[in-house]
Structure 1
Amino acid sequence: MKFKKVIKSSFVLIGFSSGGKWSGNIVYPIPKLWNKSNKFISVHNVDEIVGV
């Protein structure tokens, strides 16, 4: 495998996590994470996002 060194300008990476479970008494963490992310994006005037 060949590797190539690439230099990019700096950026900030922010992550959110949330507990939840998908069986039994189902708790869906994703809607809460989107609400938290949207609030952060609005307050900090974020121009690009990536979701994983």
Structure 2
Amino acid sequence: MCLEAGMPLQEVSERSGHEDISTTNEFYIHITDKMKKTSIGKLHERTS
């Protein structure tokens, strides 16, 4: 949810209490449908 809201991975990691950002990246990061749609929308804006 934090990443969907645009929060940087570093901040998500700190808020989760992880000492190393790789822990957050390895275990908690997944691409949601909303994130996919947002990314596709941004690509379309750049190519239009």
Both proteins in one fold, TM over 0.5 = no
Higher relative contact order (CA 8 A, sep 6+): 2
Give the TM-score normalised by the residue count of structure 1.
Answer: 0.32
More helix by share: 2
